[in-house]
Amino acid sequence: MKMVVDAGDTTRTYEVVASGARRGVETAVRRGVVEVSEVTRWGSLHAV
């Protein structure tokens, strides 16, 4: 997944990849903080 973040006077681009098969990546923005988590096939979240 490619993620572009507005960092005020510039943008920052990140490429996020799940570390294994049957895993996904979820993102959330809370109070101005970008949180990226890896989701396993069982639904467990691992903050990155």
**pLDDT at 2 (0 to 100):** 82
* Distance from C-alpha of 48 to C-alpha of 27, rounded to nearest angstrom: 10
**pLDDT at 44 (0 to 100):** 62
pTM comes to: 0.53
**pLDDT at 10 (0 to 100):** 92
43 falls in which pLDDT band (50, 70, 90)?
A: low
pLDDT in tens, 10-38: 998 988 877 777 778 888 888 888 888 88
pLDDT in tens, 2-13: 888 888 899 989
